[in-house]
Structure 1
Amino acid sequence: MTSPRTFLLLQGVCSPFFFRLGQALRSRGHRVFKINFTGGDWLYWFGQPAWSYRGSRKDLGPYLADQYRRYAITDQILFGDCRPIHRPAIELALACGVRTHVIEEGYFRPYWVTLERNGVNGYSSLPKDPDWYREVGKQVPEYRQGRSFSHSFNIRAFHDVLYHLAGFYNPLFFPGYRTHAPVNAAVEYLGYIRRLPTLRWHRKKDDQLLADILRQGTPYYLLPLQLSSDAQIREHSRFANMAGVMEHVLASFAAHAPGGTALVIKNHPLDAGLDNYPRMIRRLEQRHDLKGRIHYMETGNLGELLRHASGTVTVNSTVGLVALARSCPTMALSNPIYNIPGLTYQGPLDAFWREGEKPSGRLFRFFRNTVIHTTQVNGGLYSRDGIGMLVANCLPLLEAEHSPLEEIG
């Protein structure tokens, strides 16, 4: 057992995970404090004592510094390092000698969750040196898919709706809070209500489209769309949204891809349908004279698409990791953790269409094992058994003086 520490929990995920984590830390002799920023935070803290921050973002730094000092905070835990309330908290903690533990959706889903110190994704401390992974990869265990647990979209959706319903009272009880999301939750829900019932029809149509492409023997590249609202697009790429990504990729495809090849564009499974992608794509087809070469899928079997694709173009989606695992040539348009020589294509997009090469299977195995060993925790954020597993597996990492990545050096 390590010496008792004092943990401060900031904004968490839309689930009981932070509550159960706080309980577990207390049971191990640590002091735990919580700051609620929204009605959803308050709801999912289940009536336990907590501070409520009602001020503005500009006053948050002095408030946090005072709490750090007054209560001798040693560690803070937060979900998502790109939220406006979390960026200044991370920078302040570094200056004050407070450890920051960032939790985020896993790099290797669905049975892993990311836990890193100070930052994840674009702010991750993971190196980009392939030789480092080749060396470290020989020392770490071989990881499989992780222990499984129940998980479903319905459980996640239930927690999300409940969290945002509680946010209805934010103007009254948390007047200084401004959401990090660019789209109002109610607008997103209306989009889902309209889109979800159509997916069964789209799935049949998309499966038939892929079967037709394979039967005709048409070589194709895959462009998996991300959510325009995702921090990975807004904070860690040069694109404002998916419209800009498609404009960039289709212009390059039209000018440089081999004749007779096609581009399959697959929508994100959690897209709310607020943007009319088919209309955007038709306009781009006409602008770049690509009629008949662009295929849009609302759903689509990702595994089958990657298995037959000549290459995958992504900004920084975790689909890139799935593509690498399936030995599919991959181009990253920003700088995700897997944008490493030997894994992704390092030249310009214009050349990728003809020069993209398969990733090194050996390097990817070393990379995957190392990333899981240093940053991934087996468990889930939403279901009861997934949360229980995640809490138990997080505790030794939160209590450790040095993170697994720091231990490896």
Structure 2
Amino acid sequence: MGTPSHNYWGRLRSWREYLERLVDLHQITDIVYYADRRPYHRIAQAIARERGINAYAYEFGYLRPDWITLEKWGMGAYSHFPDDPQKIRSLAANVQVEWPSDRYPHPFIQEATSEVVYNLIPVFFPYLYPFYERDRYYHPIKDYFSYIPRLARSTKSETMADQIVEELTASNRPYFVVPLQMQSDYQIRHHSPYVHLSEMIDEVMQSFKHYAHKDALLVFKIHPFDNNCENWPKVISGLASHYGCRERIRVLDGGNLHQLLAHSQGTVLVNSTTGLQALNLGIPVKTLGIAIYDIEGLTCQLPLDKFWNNATKPDPALNQDLRKLLAASIQVHGSFFTPAGREAAAEEFTDRLVNGTVNSHGAYEEIPPRLERARKIGVPIPDDSYWSDKC
């Protein structure tokens, strides 16, 4: 790390004491961290609240590609972004957004290499940060080397998926799409009621079997970055056999998601940003976790069992208002993976942090508006959370 940075080589149990001293010594006014809810970051956020200073989390953007999320205090269940449709409409009416024309494309291999190198350095060079505690679902060795079998068959899998998508879109048979997220995703671990994604797959398949029209199909699409550890095709096949509906289930490892969604009857997901893509296409969306876009008038608010036959389409005007307000308040145009994208994002980050315009244009609720629903559906709110006794 370069000057004037500080490296921490202690243990997690001593992190709070170290950071408190650092904050007091340098009179720090803002804490900014990448990825919400990691153990070190939860402690940093708690310190910020105790000292009355600001804390900001940033991550990949909701309005992908070429956007980065920057929110005050947290994301997902802890987001302060409003969820009331009338308030979103009202606030968006006063927002002017000039949608950037700049694009920051990058090859998949660049993103994958950055991810792998970052997470394997502590494994192969543990003496650099000997007491660092990973909070990854899988050990990095298992995580990354499990990709190899999937990569080896990727060409064949993509060809088969493309063929199935063509067959689905060419037929008149109704189908629903279930885009799977990754088991290791923080959006699953901290913003959904599921310990394991197989629970979600079971819930969806059971409901589909009993309540969807008998001619309908259920199409599971594996996440393009999935590491193959869970063997989702086997899990899905086993559950389909259990519920006696194998002939109505399809599993895709590849294929054109846009085309797949555009011809579907709807999509069921936990909280993936694929939901925003579906909303843009006017496709009914049912979320099973906590999502920034799970708003009355956009996503279907009916129970899952009723979604299959009574799915409601999103209001296109409200969807545009949501996008406008997101872009103006908690989305920063830029990219982690190109010099131009990083430069643009850093400039906008600096401007918003210095001028206090994160969650601007009124897009900030004092109490995170999604926490109450999070509790109701079984999302674990840890005892160390500032909000654990406020919802």
* TM-score for both structures, normalised by structure 2: 0.89
Provide the rounded CA distance (Å) in 2 between the counterparts of 1:213 and 1:117: 42
Cα deviation code 1:344-379 (max 9, x no counterpart): 111210111111111000110001110111001110
For 2:172 and 2:329, locate their aligned partners in 1 and report how far apart those are by CA, in whole Å.
42
Question: Structure 1 368/147 Cα, relative in aligned 2: closer, same or farther at 3 Å?
Answer: same
Give 2:51's aligned amino acid: C
The partner residue of 1:75 within 19, 26, 30 is 30
Aligned residues: 364
Match of 2:109 in 1: 154
Counterpart residue identity of residue 130, structure 2? P
Question: What is the distance in 2 between the residues matched to 1:373 and 1:406?
Answer: 7
Q: Which residue of 2 aligns with 1:185?
A: 140
- Following superposition of structure 1 onto structure 2, how do residues 5-44 of structure 1 map, counting pairs within 5 Å? none
Number of the residue aligned with 1:229:
184
TM-superposition CA deviations, 1:76-114 (whole Å, max 9, x none) = 111011111101111210111221121100001111100
Q: Are the counterparts in 2 of residues 170 and 177 from structure 1 also a CA contact under 8 Å?
A: no
Which of 44, 50, 71 does residue 95 from structure 1 map onto? 50
CA distance in 1 between counterparts of 2:29 and 2:294 reads 33
Note the C-alpha offset of 1:272. 0.9
CA–CA separation in structure 1 for the residues paired with 2:171 and 2:356 = 58
- Residue 329 of structure 1 corresponds to 284
What is the CA-CA distance between 1:318 and the residue it aligns to? 0.3
Mean CA deviation greater in 207-216 or 338-347: 207-216
Question: Where does 1:3-402 land on structure 2 (aligned, <5 Å)?
Answer: 45=1, 47-142=2-97, 144=99, 147-168=102-123, 171-402=126-357
Q: Write the letter of the residue equivalent to 1:219.
A: P
SS of the residue aligned with 2:27? coil
Cα offset, 1:385, TM superposition: 1.9
Given that residues 150 and 385 in structure 1 are in contact (C-alpha distance below 8 angstroms), is that contact kept between their aligned partners in structure 2?
no
Task: Give the Cα separation in 2 of the matches to 1:407 and 1:346.
Answer: 25
Cα offset, 1:203, TM superposition: 1.4
Asked if the contact 2:325/2:363 (under 8 Å) is kept, the reply is: no
What does the per-residue CA deviation read over 1:278-302, in whole Å, with 9 as the maximum and x for residues that have no partner? 1111111111110210000001211
Superimposed CA distance per residue, residues 160-208 of structure 1 (whole angstroms, 9 cap, x where no aligned partner): 2322342136643423211111112222221222212322221111111
Q: Which moved more, 1:157-166 or 1:110-119?
A: 157-166
- What 5-or-longer segments of structure 1 have no aligned partner? 1-44
Q: Distance in 1 between matches of 2:170 and 2:328?
A: 41
> What is the aligned partner in structure 1 of residue 379 from structure 2?
none
Relative to 1, partners in 2 of residues 1:82 and 1:141: Cα closer, same or farther, differing over 3 Å? Answer: same
Structure 1 contact 329–359 (Cα < 8 Å) conserved: yes
Separation in structure 2 between the aligned mates of residue 176 and residue 339 of structure 1, nearest angstrom: 39
Cα distance in 1 for residues equivalent to 2:236 and 2:77: 29
TM-score between the two structures when normalised by the length of structure 1: 0.85
- For 2:99 and 2:127, how far apart are their aligned partners in 1? 48
What one-letter code is carried by the residue in structure 2 that aligns with 1:209?
I
Q: Counterpart amino acid of 1:207?
A: D
**Displaced runs of 4 or more, over 4 A:** 406-409
Equivalent position amino acid for 2:155 in 1: R
C-alpha offsets along residues 228-260 of structure 1, whole Å, 9 cap, x if unaligned? 100000011011122111111001101111110
Cα offset, 1:124, TM superposition: 1.1
Which blocks of at least 5 consecutive residues in structure 2 are unaligned? 365-391
Deviation of 1:406 (Å) = 6.2
Secondary structure at the counterpart of residue 51 of structure 1? coil
How far did residue 139 of structure 1 move?
1.2
Letter in 2 for 1:247: D
Q: Secondary structure at the match of 1:312?
A: strand
Report the RMSD for the aligned CA atoms in angstroms. Answer: 1.7
Asked if structure 2 preserves the Cα contact closer than 8 Å seen for 1:285 and 1:294, the reply is yes
Give the aligned partner of residue 368 of structure 2: none
The Cα of 1:401 is off from its aligned counterpart by 3.1
